[in-house]
């Protein structure tokens, strides 16, 4: 906080009022409602609700479909995070290296940031389409009988590729800015000591990128969990059938299609705990970085 501050009886409250009102009505109330509903069994016809304790959670966790979804979410998140981070890191290292055309490459590699996930999903679905999609033709040429929307694995593959494509730019931006902030003197000293540029990278540059990488790791997990909703919805064309879905997509399906309010809320609360844990880890990391720098 500031050393010098204003004091005024009413003004700070008036300044805070709009934000507090919105947070209260559109955040605290729904969040509390989600937690409350997770302990109740709602009558689907609207005739009140009964308190059932942890039954909703037990039902959710014991359902085989839920563990299948949880496993898929885990593998999907890991794949998206790993591939989008490593491709972005490779490109950022190269873009930091080159002298000619550096700014052109930067623009070409970051502009996809602005494309919405469902729009990426639509274009992706068309590219993987069984009749007109060039990627589908390519798979067939390689002897892979790809069937998006029919085959579980193929659908998961398409989702992952689209999700990685969409996430590379933001990782690239952060990695590049991280690389550019590595002091010139450190780089030169390392160059004197060690001739192998790849060893220099892993022993000197990469550790200096650790805070950026950790921050990006959290961002990417959050992205894979939540922001891929639009991609998944488009790849499934709104008809999940027997295809893979993520945990967030399942909250949406059970709540809005299945009318299972209690079950959907219990799933929301489980996700809340997950996100809460991720955010706490992230904040502690940021605090630590501030202390050391």
Partner 1 sequence: MKRSQFWDHVVLVLGALFMLVPVVYALMTSSHDAVSIYKDGLQLSPGGHFVDTYKQVLTEAGGFTKSVTGLTMLWNSLVLGLGFAFGKIIISMLAAYAIVYFRFPLGTFFFWIIFSTLLLPLEVRILPSYEIVQGLGMANTYSGLIIPLIASATGTFYFRQFFKSVPDELVEAARIDGAGPLKFFIDILVPLSKTMIAAIFIIMFVFGWNQYLWPTLITTDESLFTLVRGMKQILQVWIGAQIPDTNQAMALAVLAMLPPVLIVVIFQSWFVKGLVESEK
Binding residues for partner 1 restricted to 242-261, rule: CB under 8 A? 248, 251-252, 255-256, 261
* Sole binder of partner 1 in the list 52, 61, 70, 123 (CB under 8 A): 123
Q: How far is the CB of 120 from partner 1 (least distance, A)?
A: 8
Q: Binding of partner 1 at residue 124 (CB under 8 A)?
A: yes
Residue whose token pair is 């002091």: 183
Q: How far is the CB of 152 from partner 1 (least distance, A)?
A: 20
Q: Binding of partner 1 at residue 263 (CB under 8 A)?
A: no
Q: How far is the CB of 18 from partner 1 (least distance, A)?
A: 5
Burial class of residue 173 in the structure, from the number of CB atoms within 10 Å of its CB (0-12 exposed, 13-18 middle, 19+ buried) = middle
Indicate the residue among 59 and 137 with the shorter CB distance to partner 1. Answer: 137
Q: Binding of partner 1 at residue 153 (CB under 8 A)?
A: no
What is the 3-class SS of 28-50, one letter each residue? Answer: HHHHHHHHHHCCEEECCCCCCEE
Q: How far is the CB of 19 from partner 1 (least distance, A)?
A: 4
Rounded CA separation 267/262 (Å)? 9
Mapped onto helix, strand or coil, the DSSP state of residue 51 is strand
Q: Binding of partner 1 at residue 272 (CB under 8 A)?
A: yes
Q: Binding of partner 1 at residue 234 (CB under 8 A)?
A: yes
Rounded CA separation 94/101 (Å)? 11
Q: How far is CA 209 from the centre of its chain?
A: 20
On the CB side of 153, CA atoms within 13 Å amount to 3
Site for partner 1 in 26-85 (CB under 8 A): 26-31, 33-34, 37
Contact 235, 158 (CB under 8 A): yes
Q: Binding of partner 1 at residue 113 (CB under 8 A)?
A: yes
Q: Binding of partner 1 at residue 94 (CB under 8 A)?
A: yes
Q: Binding of partner 1 at residue 209 (CB under 8 A)?
A: no
């Amino acid at each position: 906080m500031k050393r010098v501050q204003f004091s005024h009886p009413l003004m700070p409250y008036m300044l805070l009022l709009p934000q507090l009102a919105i947070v209260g009505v559109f955040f605290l109330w729904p969040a509390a409602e989600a937690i409350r509903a997770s302990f109740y069994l709602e009558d689907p016809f609207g005739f009140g609700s009964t308190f059932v304790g942890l039954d909703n959670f037990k039902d959710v966790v014991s359902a085989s479909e839920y563990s299948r979804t949880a496993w898929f979410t885990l593998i999907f998140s890991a794949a998206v995070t790993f591939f989008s981070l490593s491709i972005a890191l490779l490109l950022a290292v190269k873009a930091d290296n080159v002298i000619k055309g550096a700014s052109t490459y930067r623009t070409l590699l970051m502009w996809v940031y602005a494309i919405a996930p469902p729009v990426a999903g639509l274009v992706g679905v068309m590219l993987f389409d069984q009749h007109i999609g060039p990627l589908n033709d390519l798979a067939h040429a390689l002897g892979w009988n790809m069937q998006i929307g029919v085959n579980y694995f193929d659908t998961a593959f398409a989702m992952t590729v689209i999700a990685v494509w969409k996430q590379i730019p933001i990782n690239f931006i952060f990695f590049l800015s991280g690389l550019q902030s590595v002091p010139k003197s450190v780089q030169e000293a390392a160059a004197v000591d060690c001739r192998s540029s790849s060893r220099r990278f892993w022993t000197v540059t990469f550790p200096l990128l650790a805070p950026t990488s950790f921050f990006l790791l959290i961002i990417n997990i959050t992205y894979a969990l939540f922001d891929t909703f639009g991609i998944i919805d488009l790849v499934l064309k709104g008809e999940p059938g027997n295809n893979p879905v993520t945990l967030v997509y399942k909250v949406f399906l059970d709540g809005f299609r299945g009318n299972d309010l209690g079950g959907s809320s219990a799933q929301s609360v489980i996700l809340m705990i997950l996100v809460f844990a991720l955010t706490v880890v992230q904040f502690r990391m940021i605090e630590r970085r501030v202390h050391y720098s």
